[in-house]
Amino acid sequence: MQITADLHLHSKYSRAVSQEMVLPIMAQWAQKKGIDLLTTADWTHPLWLKEIESQLEEDNEGIYKLRGSASKTRYILTTEIANMYTQGGKGRRMHTLFFAPNFTTVHKINEAIVKRGGNLLSDGRPILGLSLEQMCELVWEIDEKVLVVPCHAWTPWFSIFGSKSGFDSIEACFGNYSDRIYSVETGLSSDVLMNWKIKDLDSRSIISNSDSHSPRKMGREATVFEFSGDKLNFSDIAGALKQDKVGRCRISYTIEFHPEEGKYHYTGHRVCGVVQSPEETRIKGVTCHVCGRPLTVGVEHRVDELADPERKTQNAKRKTNQETGVVGYYHWQDDSRPPYVMLVPLQEIIAEAFNTGTASKKVEELYEIMVQNLGNELEILLKAKPEAIEKIGGPKKIRTNKFILKEDLWLQLKKSLLG
């Protein structure tokens, strides 16, 4: 069976996060979205940890469910930590996911962080002065089962390959621990193809998650696992990320948001409205021609800098599911790499059809009608037939959905609506 997971979220205790990011509401939206496994998020925060411990009970080793609830949503203990330090004469700012196998390990890690001077009450995503080598040493001295995954790997700030404070390789960042970094997260501004172009990632799995700050945006990116067992456990997820050939779980595919829509995809200066492609940046440089300040080097350009020369022009192979019309993207050569699909969140599709915002009453009403009558959001985006959508939303909204599902080109959506 398939298990859809969103393993990078934030709780109400993180900055700029909705107060609705609490376990029961997250579970309700997971059901609407079609997400089976969520992260609890933010287990370093003492108040949030107290909440999740009181609200969850273990369903199987390292996998949790809401206590006394019929909800089918399951949870795993992951959290994001920010590390800010100096290495190689350069300031480094890293965001990293840590997967803990149980609450005992969580408490021990938190205690060790506090002993090292960490302030865990300040934010759900704490900022620590430890290097990532020191961080790995800290968590693995406590429990070797902990998984360490660099998140949104290409964001200019706060990522392992980021143009502002990142590194050029996994080894440069993690040193002697680099061979225990089994996976990286794409982030909204990169897709799987971009990560396939980096030799350093050939032996590592690639996952995608939403990094959502509100329930409605959960699942905008996700990782779909194929599971052959009875009850999922922590070791199954760990095995999938490690690409264990004899395990019960493997990554089937990932769900990607269009990276062009990501905040940091292109090089530019938002204040001055400057946007440059990698080709333009090579010609014009990285200084804003309007104000003279440095441009933020975007993800696309940074990938181009680190990509293997022979891979820079490679494209994914497109395969269309004849029954659903959904396009899958596959590695140009290595069939063992899990493919990906490009989707646009259903609420954004509806909003475009009505030329309104995603939070409008009209969008919310149609969204609820669709998920109540056609299945969860991912079922609608991946499997719903146009005739069924037409009965619910009318011809114009059908054409909108059909266009997204079959043509997969978000940037041309408005053009399709004009017809």
Among 171, 161, 174, 87, residue whose Cα is nearest residue 129: 87
Among 352, 399, 337, 394, residue whose Cα is nearest residue 370: 394
Band the pLDDT of 291: cuts 50, 70, 90: very high
The C-alpha atoms of residue 162 and residue 215 are separated, in whole angstroms, by 27
Indicate the length of the chain as a whole number: 419
Would you state the pLDDT for residue 14?
98
Residue 227: pLDDT over 70:
yes
Would you state the pLDDT for residue 393?
63
The C-alpha atoms of residue 172 and residue 169 are separated, in whole angstroms, by 5
The C-alpha atoms of residue 386 and residue 15 are separated, in whole angstroms, by 40
Amino acid, res. 241? L
The C-alpha atoms of residue 419 and residue 417 are separated, in whole angstroms, by 5
Please give the structure tokens belonging to residue 95.
């965001």
Residue 400: pLDDT over 70:
no
> Which of 106-110, 134-138, 298-302, 412-416 has the weakest average pLDDT?
412-416
Would you state the pLDDT for residue 401?
43
Would you state the pLDDT for residue 402?
39
- In DSSP terms, which residues pair with 65 in a beta bridge? 57, 74
Q: Residue 224 in contact with residue 253, Cβ under 8 Å?
A: yes
pLDDT over 90, % of the chain:
77
Superfamily of domain 2-260: Metal-dependent hydrolases (3.20.20.140)
Element (H, E) at 352: helix 346-354
> Which of 2-11, 96-105, 410-419 has the weakest average pLDDT?
410-419
What CA–CA distances, in Å, run from 195 to 50, 205, 222, 325? Answer: 37, 10, 16, 25
Averaged pLDDT, 135-139: 99
The C-alpha atoms of residue 136 and residue 112 are separated, in whole angstroms, by 12
What is the per-residue pLDDT across 314-359, written as a single tens digit (0 to 9) for each? Answer: 999 999 877 766 789 999 999 999 999 998 898 988 887 777 888 9
Amino acid, res. 406? K
The 8-class DSSP code of residue 212 comes to B
Band the pLDDT of 21: cuts 50, 70, 90: very high
Would you state the pLDDT for residue 391?
76
Q: Please tell me the pTM assigned to this model.
A: 0.93
Would you state the pLDDT for residue 419?
31
The three state secondary structure string of 115-166 is HCCCCCCCCCCCEECCCHHHHHHHHHHHCCCCEEEECCCCCCCCCCCCCCCC
- Residue bearing tokens 């969850």: 56
Band the pLDDT of 91: cuts 50, 70, 90: very high
Residues 6 or more apart from 299 whose CB is under 8 A from it?
154, 155, 156, 187, 189, 190, 194, 259, 262, 264, 265
Q: Beta strand pairing status for 222-227 and 249-256?
A: antiparallel
Sign of CA dihedral 214, 216, 221, 225: positive
